[in-house]
Every structure is written in structure tokens, then in C-alpha cells.
Amino acid sequence: MIIPCIDLMDGKVVQLVQGRDKALEGASPAEMLRKFAPFPEIQVIDLDAAMGRGSNSDLVRFIASRSKARVGGGVRFRELLDQGAHRVIVGTAAFTATGVNQAFLSELDRERTTIAVDSKDGRIVIKGWRESTGLTAEAVLHELEPYCSGFLCTYVDKEGMMQGTDLDWFRRLRAATSLELTAAGGIATLDEVRALREMKVHAALGMAIYTGRLSLDELARLI
């Protein structure tokens, strides 16, 4: 499955490089929904909520009411479901200083939970990718499986840089879990999308779509 991404900041659709620097602004949420209409699901990340500096709840509700959306940003599981999210992406809250936050995760609806396992320099990063946990994705996927229906795994080293992703990393992750796996971070070519599909890994696409590097028409034909 190909999953287009809508990242929200300051009431606008944006794309960042490695979660830090804003590279561009997209069209309005309504226009992005129109463009993404051929795709069965979209991914929405409220960056302000993820960084603890407010939220874009009205826009999340608008998007989720008009699409099948997996939504992340901040520790707001029930709130995001109430706003219409099909699934909630849980990141920072899934981890403690020493490992998996089992107490928190056990309270969630497993079938509606996707856990974000985002890695930089080989280690899982949290809090808007600003803090490293010291954990590796390969080591914790099995422990996380009882608490979710799938994983969103972002290769932060290449996020937004249009330099390609690390397919070998995703192969190792695919071997580590039988649950749904969605890849993000640096995916820039149709060959990479096809390679991920052969692994039975979904592709979440942002910068490559917004810059026109990947054509929505070509991607739609792949599905």
C-alpha cells in the first residue's frame, strides 16, 4: 500500500527535513485530500502536538472526517480517535528511559494502534526525533507486537533529504515481525516503492510527492 502523508504545523501542510527545518509548504488540506483521493489511506502527523507546542486539532478532525487516516502527534490516543482517526500512531509514549512502556501501551486498543519506531544513527529516537533512547528497532519489535496492529518505521537519517532510503534496514525489520510494517524516510524512487512492496512493506511518502519527484498518477497506477 502507498500512503501519502500530510504533516501539519502552524495550521499549514508542511514538509520538514529530518524533523527540524521546514523545506516547503503544501496546498490546503482540502486540496491535498483531493489529490490523495485515489489512495485508500493517508497518514497525518500533527507536528505541533508531537513537539509539545500546541495542536492542529481542527485540521485533524477535518481531514479524518473526509478520509481513512492514521493520525499521530502527542499523547492523545482517545482524543485522536474522537477526531475521527482510523488508527492512532503512538511514538514517544511507547517508550520509557529503559525500554518499552508496557503500562501505557496495555491501556490502548491494540487494533487501532500503530507504534512509531523511528531510528537515527541506528537508535530509536523520540520527542520529535530530538532524543535517542539507545534502543534498536530490531531488538524491540517483538516486544511491542502485543500492543499494536502494525509499525511505522522512519529512517530519520534520510528523512526529507530525497537521497533514497535504507532498504536493507527495512528488510531486517520485515524479518523481525509478522505485523503490518510501513516504511518512511527518504523514499524517493518508484524502484524503492516497488522493492518495499515486494517485501510486503507499505510506503509512506511525503517529500517525494510534494516536490513532484514521484508522480501521484504513477503511484496510483501501482495500487
Q: What is the pLDDT of residue 130?
A: 77
Residue from 206, 152, 196 nearest 1 by CA:
196
Is 118 annotated in the active site?
yes
Whole-prediction pTM value? 0.93
Q: What is the pLDDT of residue 131?
A: 78
Is 82 annotated in the active site?
no
Domain 2-222: what homologous superfamily? Aldolase class I (3.20.20.70)
Q: What is the pLDDT of residue 181?
A: 98
In DSSP terms, which residues pair with 24 in a beta bridge? 15
Q: 18 or 167: which carries more pLDDT confidence?
A: 167
Residue 27 DSSP SS3: coil
Domains of the chain, residue spans: 2-222
Helices (H), the chain: 29-35, 47-50, 57-64, 77-82, 102-105, 137-144, 167-176, 190-198, 207-210, 216-222
Residue from 213, 161, 206, 163 nearest 183 by CA:
206
100-136: per-residue pLDDT in tens? 999 999 999 999 999 999 999 889 888 877 778 889 9
pLDDT exceeds cutoff 70 at 161: no
Q: Give the C-alpha separation, 77 to 85, whole Å.
A: 9
**Other C-beta atoms lying within 10 Å of the C-beta of residue 120:** 19
Dihedral sign (CA 160, 163, 164, 169): negative
C-alpha 142: how far from chain center: 19
**Other C-beta atoms lying within 10 Å of the C-beta of residue 28:** 12
Percent of the chain with pLDDT over 90: 75
Catalytic residue among 21, 109, 118, 191: 118
